[in-house]
Structure 1
Amino acid sequence: MNNVSATSQQNTTSFSSINRRHASLRGAAKRKAWITLVKEMHRDGWPVAALAEMCEASKPTIRRWLQRDEGLDDTETSSLTPINSRTDLTREMLHDVLVYNQDTGEFIWGSGRPRTGKLAGWTDFHGYRKISISGHEYLAHHLAWLYVFGVLPRHEIDHINGDRSDNRITNLRDVRRKINTQNQRRRRKDGSPELPLGTSFDKARNKFAAYIGHNGKTIALGRFDTPEEAGAAYLAAKRVLHDGCTI
């Protein structure tokens, strides 16, 4: 770290600024800001290990960032499938390196590790917890499933309460994508954040429309004077039509 230039030291302030804006940046925007700064710091002499520690990411992740172009999209990292194709990780191997608290959903590094007793992993741009084991990145909710049941999930892990960082085993369920999607609690990124899930504003009629997808079709639920009324209509229909809904 003695060779780090003044410019790279200034970058630590920029990194802290980006980190403070964690709540306002989403997906590709946040990732692009971090990757751009990491590349600048690496050019200024910061080693991969130091960047990984500062970003709370694994060294393989930092290396991928340095090798990638900045024009990334949200499909770069899937939140629904394992981070890597390694399938030889067993429950016994997992128990050797990590301790999982089923009541809190947190993983702690086990005894004999350099970080024994410390919280394992970091939160990614999508709000999911990840943990690096022997150079391989894993989604913490997949590790929780393996830790408790001895197998990786067959389908997708749904966070029942909608909190992607809540990896308590009682908050996880192994479901097909249809069920997982039906438990959506927030509007997608292309939707207006001011409106409730399942609603839109009809400018021509100056009303709020509610609609829901079911069996491959879109069902119109009516137009309402307020977004709250439209949202309530959507939620009522969702609880009837979507088996995966837990709201």
Structure 2
Amino acid sequence: MERIELPGFQDLRVQFDYDEDTGRIQYRKLSNKARRASSEAGHVADVGGALYRVVAVEYPSGKSRQVYAHRVIWKLMTAQEPPREIDHINGNTQDNRWANMRDGSGGANSKNRAMPKNNTSGACGVVWDKATGFWVARMGLGGVQRTLGYFENKEDAARAARSERLKNGFTERHGLPKSGLDKPQTLEDTLV
């Protein structure tokens, strides 16, 4: 979805109610029959495999555009245009509580990402090297891939990769499987 500049803060305040504790956003104006005062604004859309709430925002020109709810919420809370990336801290893109959002610019968003779907080793930053017969721990930082070491077993490689990520400001949830994001885990739980 294209990122477009939002209407002014006051225009958004006229259109939406937001509860920062629950993350619930509702329409104030019920100009559309599909909008109900008791229901949450917009709908959930699948955007590249992630589910985001999308709301209809009316512009002063009279046109309406579909916009990510978390962008509208950012402007409602700060009166500022949202940053290019907004990070949902707990990884749940539908959890729009204000305490769960932060500026994801400057790599903060990527340092909080779950394990990629195409991961084949089951451990983030760990690959099997056929040529050497070892597990290789790697980490990308600032656009540069670094090799952290070669290991006889996957668990040692995973420990090395995770330790290095944590030293470099990656979050505890970075690289965990998506299914394990909602519950606390120990280091041993996340290695295999």
TM superposition score normalised by structure 2: 0.71
Tell me what 2:78 maps to: 149
Query: Kindly, what percent of the aligned residue pairs are identical?
Result: 27
1:8-19 alignment, distance < 5 Å:
none
Q: Once the 2 structures are TM-superposed, how far is the Cα of residue 86 of structure 1 from its aligned partner?
A: 4.0
1:1-247 alignment, distance < 5 Å:
77=1, 82=3, 85-87=4-6, 89-110=7-28, 112-113=30-31, 114-125=35-46, 126-134=50-58, 135-187=64-116, 189=117, 191-192=118-119, 195-241=122-168, 243=169, 245-247=170-172
SS in structure 2 opposite 1:195? coil
Name the Cα RMSD after superposition: 2.4
Distance verdict in 2 for CA 1:231–1:101, change over 3 Å: farther
Aligned length: 161
Q: Once the 2 structures are TM-superposed, how far is the Cα of residue 120 of structure 1 from its aligned partner?
A: 1.4
TM superposition score normalised by structure 1: 0.57
Contact 1:111 1:117 in 2 (8 A): no
SS in structure 1 opposite 2:51? coil
Distance verdict in 2 for CA 1:193–1:237, change over 3 Å: same
Distance verdict in 2 for CA 1:232–1:153, change over 3 Å: same
More strand by share: 2
SS in structure 2 opposite 1:100? strand
Whole-angstrom CA distance in 2 between matches of 1:193 and 1:118: 41
Q: Deviations along 1:172-201, whole A, 9 cap, x unmatched?
A: 1124242322222221x5x32552221212
Tell me what 2:182 maps to: none
Whole-angstrom CA distance in 2 between matches of 1:237 and 1:176: 21
Distance verdict in 2 for CA 1:138–1:240, change over 3 Å: same
Contact 2:129 2:135 in 1 (8 A): yes
Whole-angstrom CA distance in 2 between matches of 1:226 and 1:117: 55
Distance verdict in 2 for CA 1:93–1:227, change over 3 Å: farther
Q: Once the 2 structures are TM-superposed, how far is the Cα of residue 147 of structure 1 from its aligned partner?
A: 1.0
* AA matched with 2:165: K
* AA matched with 2:171: T
Whole-angstrom CA distance in 2 between matches of 1:226 and 1:99: 53
Whole-angstrom CA distance in 2 between matches of 1:129 and 1:194: 32
SS in structure 1 opposite 2:108? helix
Following TM superposition, the consecutive aligned residue runs of length 4 or more in structure 1 with deviations greater than 6 angstroms are: none
Q: Once the 2 structures are TM-superposed, how far is the Cα of residue 161 of structure 1 from its aligned partner?
A: 1.9
Contact 1:155 1:177 in 2 (8 A): no
Which range is displaced more, 192-201 or 221-230?
221-230
